[in-house]
Amino acid sequence: MFRGFYTVGSGMIAQQRKTEMLANNMANANTPGFKAEQATIRSFPEMYMSSIEKTRIPTQNGFNLKGLSPVGPISTGVYMQETLPLFTQGQLRESGQTTDVALIDGRLPIDEASGVQGSIFFRLEHDNGGEHYTRNGNFALDPNGFLTNPQGYYVLDTNGQRIALQNDDFQITEEGVIMEGGTAVATLGISFAQRPDTLIKQGNGTFVTENGANLPNANGVAGVTYSMQQGYLEGSNVDSAQAMTDMMTAYRAFEANQKILQAYDRSMEKAVTEIGRI
């Protein structure tokens, strides 16, 4: 019976964490470039039960031989193994701001070993000197004329350099070339992740690699095509209706585990107050 407490408790914890993840998705349904998270729930290894039996051997001394009789497997609960972002393209919405840029997926190769489709990102310079990556093209110019993201990280060009502009009167071509007065001053740096599922989420819509290494330039990867749209932002890829449905399902699963836990508690109460008295 005590094992049942642990099994039910693990189920409640897993559903609670899934609900928190779905609530975060719902809260970011209107965040530009946000990628919805998906949960992977797995069960703990099953435990195989056996009953101990004795077989009496008809000898003069009456030996007993112990044996095991298989009963069957029993589940030991579940846990939420990890959360993985869903890197599908979000819908574009017009903002009218010249500093806003939407990154549009073209043809992205699929990793043969894992079957995961690659993804592309804007390059950002982090405070620690490394690179962060994002799909949020909601950029702005800082007081020094550098192009930055909402958290103040510098947007990098194809050479890994900061992008300095005179003002917000500039144009960005579909290839990401920034034009000022008809002169090309920089090209937005776009990186390609062959296995985006291995990226580590840092918050505020940014990602880093597992080992801290920089992702390769997307222009140098065979088979990668993309385009950009100035004055637009890529919206979140959260499906609000599906997220709400999944949240209700997780809540009902939590509630079902809660009722089982209450039943175990009543049984334990009877065992202590009634059977113990006898």
Residue boundaries of the structural domains of the chain: 2-48+76-82+244-275, 91-234
Residue closest to 188 by CA, chosen among 274, 87, 102 = 102
pLDDT > 90? residue 20:
yes
Q: Which residue has the tokens 């970011």?
A: 28
Asked if pLDDT for residue 276 goes beyond 60, the answer is no
Per the CB < 8 A criterion, the answer to whether 75 and 41 are in contact is: no
> What is the pLDDT, as a whole number, of residue 128?
78
Give the range among 38-42, 67-71, 77-81, 91-95 with minimum mean pLDDT. Answer: 67-71
pLDDT of residue 63: 59
Tell me the mean pLDDT in the region 246-266.
90
pLDDT at res. 179: 94
For residues 115 and 57, give the distance between their C-alpha atoms in angstroms, rounded to a whole number.
Answer: 60
Whether 141 and 155 have beta carbons less than 8 Å apart is answered as: no
Round the average pLDDT of the chain to a whole number and report it.
87
Instruction: Give the Cα-Cα-Cα angle 85, 40, 32 (nearest 5 degrees).
Output: 20
Q: Are 134 and 122 in contact (CB under 8 A)?
A: yes
Of 196, 200, 230, 204, residue with least CA distance to 212 = 200
Question: Each residue of 196-227: pLDDT tens digit?
Answer: 999 998 888 899 998 888 999 998 888 999 99
pLDDT bin (cut points 50, 70, 90) of residue 114 is confident
Burial class (CB in 10 A: 0-12, 13-18, 19+), 224: buried
Contact between residue 133 and residue 215 where contact means Cβ atoms under 8 Å apart: yes
Residue 253 structure tokens: 């699963």
Give the phi and the psi of residue 38 in degrees, each rounded to 5: -120, 140
Tally of residues, the chain: 278
pTM (predicted TM-score): 0.79
Cα separation, 276 vs 278, whole angstroms: 5
Cβ neighbour number for residue 237 with a 10 Å cutoff: 19
CA–CA separation, 144 and 21 (whole Å): 38
Residues 131-148: what's their mean pLDDT?
A: 94
pLDDT for the residue numbered 77: 78
Amino acid at position 256, single letter: A
